[in-house]
Amino acid sequence: MKSNSKNWYKNLNSYLNYYWELKKKIDNNVSSEQINYLCDNFLNDGADSVKLMGAGGGGFISIFASQKIQQKLLSKYNNLKFVKVEMADNGSKIIKI
């Protein structure tokens, strides 16, 4: 990884979290109590950022977190379906479904 990759990652997470808070303030229908509960808990449990993806009542929550935090979330929220993706120079790839 390049020396500035940590700054890039930190900035990305800051923007994602800021955007999520702003989006919820602009439109009350963007989220629900359940989604807010999950996102808040993922962040409180150590995730670096969360992003609601999809539209129209279907979609998923993208969670950015270290390997250690990923394992914690997988154990704690074992009733949810997780799909692991990794960043790569040639784009993202689905690792496990």
- The H or E element that residue 94 is part of is strand 93-96
Q: How far is CA 13 from CA 10, 52, 58, 72, 80, in A?
A: 5, 13, 23, 19, 22
Model confidence, pTM = 0.76
pLDDT one-digit tens code per residue, 78-97:
998 888 877 667 766 676 66
pLDDT one-digit tens code per residue, 8-25:
888 888 999 898 888 888
Q: Where are the domains of the chain?
A: 5-96
The CB density around residue 52, as the number of other CB atoms within 10 Å, is 19
Q: Rounded to whole angstroms, how far apart are CA atoms 29 and 25? A: 10
